[in-house]
A = this chain, B = another copy of it.
Amino acid sequence: MSQTSTDILREAGISPSSQRVAIAEFVLHTGSHPSADEVLVQARKRLPGISVATIYNTLNLFVEHGLLRTFSLSQNHTVYDACTDPHHHFIDDETGRIHDLPIDAVRVSHDNFDDFDIREVQVVLRGRTNPQNPPAKLAK
């Protein structure tokens, strides 16, 4: 980690309270796409008393300051994605797990629409994760 969470928060213009650092420590450095609930569990490992409301408010704050992006999946799951390089997503139908795909693995082109000014293109691929992978990858 080249920069501490505290530094990242300061640079984003957020004052680094202990609660915020506890949350940042996990959510800005995980490759997973955690829900608010998962963030709560991890943050409590560092700061046991932290409240649910603070998790939500802090995650919203991070989103407003561009440190995170929300990603709204099927019904009951809003998920947070650390804003690193742009990428696309694959969602496993069975487990719901989200995998990042390199941006250039998916190409999109579209017509010009008179009525729409397009700012962002979001591609979600869905399907199954193959059990019979290249064996090397299965090694544990």
Is the C-beta of A11 less than 8 angstroms from some C-beta in chain B?
A: no
Contact (A116, B99) CB under 8 Å given A110-B125, A122-B124: yes
A56 CB to nearest chain B CB (Å): 10
Query: Which of A37-45, A47-55, A72-80 participates in binding chain B?
Result: A72-80
- How many Å lie between the Cα of A5 and that of B121 in the bound state? 35
Q: Which residues of B contact A129 (CB under 8 A)?
A: 115-117
Tell whether A17 is near chain B: CB-to-CB under 8 Å.
no
Do residues A106 and B115 form an inter-chain contact, with CB atoms below 8 A?
no
- A/B interface sample: 5 pairs, CB < 8 A: A72-B75, A90-B116, A119-B126, A121-B126, A122-B123
